Amino acid sequence: MVSNVHSSGDPWAKVDYSANLVKPHLEKRHHSEHRFLIGTEEWVANMLQIGGALWGVYVLLRHPQPWESLMMTPGPLETIGVGALLWLHAKWRSSVRAR
């Protein structure tokens, strides 16, 4: 039997029941796991940028009129752009903390 009387003997004293509550375990992502995902995103972005740059060099060396061929060939510049946007997104994710 639980008594509501504190050691002071006052039956009307506040009783703290919060110690007896069962708190649900909330699974949070560990900080290192979150960093791993951001690091992976940065790595993929860098590989896209490198791939786009290599593709652009290939196009420049393959055709006799370099700048026109690079601008007219769909792909290399867009790949570099997507990689840059993905990299910026990873940097934004690392600077923002969700609460």
Structural domain contains residue 9: no
Q: What is the pLDDT of residue 66?
A: 63
Compare 22 and 10 and report the one with higher pLDDT: 10
Query: Which H or E run contains 47?
Result: helix 31-62
The predicted structure's pLDDT at residue 11: 67
Residue 4 belongs to some domain of the structure: no
pLDDT at 23: 55
Using the predicted structure, report yes or no on whether residue 77 has a pLDDT greater than 60. yes
In a 10 Å sphere around its CB, with 0-12 CB exposed, 13-18 middle and 19+ buried, how is residue 45 labelled? buried
Give residue 18's pLDDT band: very low, low, confident or very high (50, 70, 90).
Answer: low
Q: What is the C-alpha to C-alpha distance for residues 54 and 79, in angstroms, rounded to an integer? A: 10
Q: How many domains does the chain have?
A: 1
Q: N- to C-terminal Cα distance for the chain? A: 41
Residue 67 lies in a domain: yes
- Whether residue 12 is predicted with pLDDT greater than 60 in this model: the reply is yes
Distance, in Å, from the CA atom of 49 to the CA atom of 27, rounded to the nearest integer, reads 35
Residue listed under structure tokens 């007896």: 20
pLDDT tens digit string along 27-74? 555 555 556 688 899 999 999 999 999 998 888 888 767 677 667 778
Q: What are phi and psi of 21, to 5 degrees?
A: -75, 145
Please give the single-letter amino acid code of residue 15. Answer: V
Residue 16 lies in a domain: no
Q: Is 63 inside any structural domain?
A: yes
Range of the domain at 64: 31-95
Whether residue 22 lies inside any domain: the answer is no
